[in-house]
């Protein structure tokens, strides 16, 4: 199972970001992932990484769909190059309406229409699409480019079925082996062709697991009650986000990551908490 590293770019200079990516590669990490928050543009940064850091896979996990028209996103994604995995998601109503001013009404319909326009564009096809939530007309000319695999951040059943139908699979968050094995994997397998489960997991290689859990609870306290996250936590049978962290010494963390693989996760996106280098060293040893 490949283990990728989520690189925290917020608050870092671009030079500091590249220093972290190169150190991760040196430790044996084979994939790096960036998210979209109000910081550096993830696809631009990944395009720079594609040029400057060879032989490492690149993941966008995840790009918010509402602020990016399919024509614009297709052009960006194809510019990154053939090492990209493109993770998408509608994000959350408070962010989309509060920060961007877009109407978050009908997110499942929006996502279906978005993918219906985007996927052909990534394959170099001409699109003339008029939906309820968006319009797209045109074709991206990017000679020699290859369409990236597309993953949907799908946590609820409707969105997960859409991921299976139209994409290569899903990116999960706050979901442990129980929810992956009992919910994500069987739902994808029943619903369509896209069966990859890329699991985001918070990892702390530490001698004080309780401190790692408390740190995560403090950092993500507002997120635990976002509806889509709350449903995942409830499925997992935990109350707080800190309860999902993989925390312990090297052997304990390795055993817990193996449980993700046994449950059906095809890749891990590791978000480190605490001693970053200690975690990266272990993750580099474990990745295949």
Residue 122 CA to residue 148 CA, distance in Å, equals 7
Assigned token pair, 250: 């090297």
Instruction: Give the count of domains, the chain.
Output: 1
pLDDT of residue 11: 92
Q: Which 3-state string (H, E, C) describes 119-147? A: HHHHCCCCEEEECCCCEEEECCCCCCCCC
Assigned token pair, 107: 């997110």
Tell how strand 135-138 and strand 127-130 pair up: antiparallel
pLDDT of residue 225: 84
CATH number of the domain at 55, please. 3.20.20.30
Burial class (CB in 10 A: 0-12, 13-18, 19+), 88: buried
pLDDT of residue 140: 98
pLDDT of residue 288: 77
Q: Residues 205-253: pLDDT tens digits?
A: 999 999 999 999 998 888 888 888 999 999 999 999 999 999 999 999 9
Q: Residues 42-93: pLDDT tens digits?
A: 999 999 999 999 999 999 999 999 999 999 999 999 999 999 999 999 998 8
Helix (H, G, I), strand (E, B) or coil at 234: helix
Alpha helices, DSSP H, located in the chain? 14-26, 42-52, 70-80, 93-95, 107-122, 157-166, 177-179, 185-191, 209-219, 227-236, 250-263, 276-286
Report the candidate in 163, 167, 198 with the shortest Cα–Cα distance to residue 180: 198
Is the pLDDT at 180 greater than 90, yes or no? yes
Is the pLDDT at 115 greater than 80, yes or no? yes
Contact 205, 188 (CB under 8 A): no
Backbone angles phi, psi at 126, to 5 degrees: -80, 140
Is the pLDDT at 194 greater than 90, yes or no? no
Residue 167 CA to residue 220 CA, distance in Å, equals 29
Is the pLDDT at 186 greater than 80, yes or no? yes
Mean pLDDT of all residues belonging to the chain: 95
Q: Residues 9-40: pLDDT tens digits?
A: 999 999 999 999 999 999 999 999 999 989 99
Residue 22 lies in domain? 2-286
């Amino acid at each position: 199972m490949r283990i990728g590293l989520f690189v925290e770019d917020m608050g870092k200079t671009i030079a500091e970001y590249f220093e972290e990516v190169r150190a991760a590669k040196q430790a044996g990490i084979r994939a790096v992932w960036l998210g979209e928050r109000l910081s550096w543009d993830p696809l631009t940064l990944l395009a720079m990484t594609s040029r400057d850091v060879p032989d490492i896979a690149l993941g966008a996990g995840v790009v918010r769909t509402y602020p990016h028209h399919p024509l614009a996103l297709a052009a960006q994604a194809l510019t990154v190059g053939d090492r990209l995995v493109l993770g998408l998601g509608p994000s959350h109503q408070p962010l989309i309406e509060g920060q961007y001013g877009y109407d978050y009404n009908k997110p499942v319909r929006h996502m279906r229409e978005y993918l219906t326009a985007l996927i052909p564009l990534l394959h170099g096809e001409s699109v003339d699409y008029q939906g309820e939530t968006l319009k797209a007309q045109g074709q991206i000319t990017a000679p020699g480019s290859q369409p990236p695999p597309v993953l949907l951040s799908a946590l609820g059943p409707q969105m997960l079925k859409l991921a299976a139908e139209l994409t290569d699979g899903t990116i999960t968050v706050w979901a442990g082996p129980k929810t992956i094995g009992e919910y994500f994997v069987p739902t994808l397998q029943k619903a369509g062709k896209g069966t990859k489960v890329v699991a985001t997991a918070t990892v702390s290689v530490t001698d004080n697991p309780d401190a790692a859990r408390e740190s995560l609870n403090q950092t993500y306290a507002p997120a635990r009650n976002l509806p889509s996250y709350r449903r995942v936590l409830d499925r997992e049978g935990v109350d707080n986000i800190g309860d999902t962290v993989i925390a312990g010494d090297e052997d304990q963390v390795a055993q817990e990551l193996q449980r993700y693989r046994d449950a059906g996760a095809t890749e891990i996106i590791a978000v480190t908490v605490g001693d970053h280098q200690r975690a990266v060293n272990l993750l580099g040893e474990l990745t295949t």
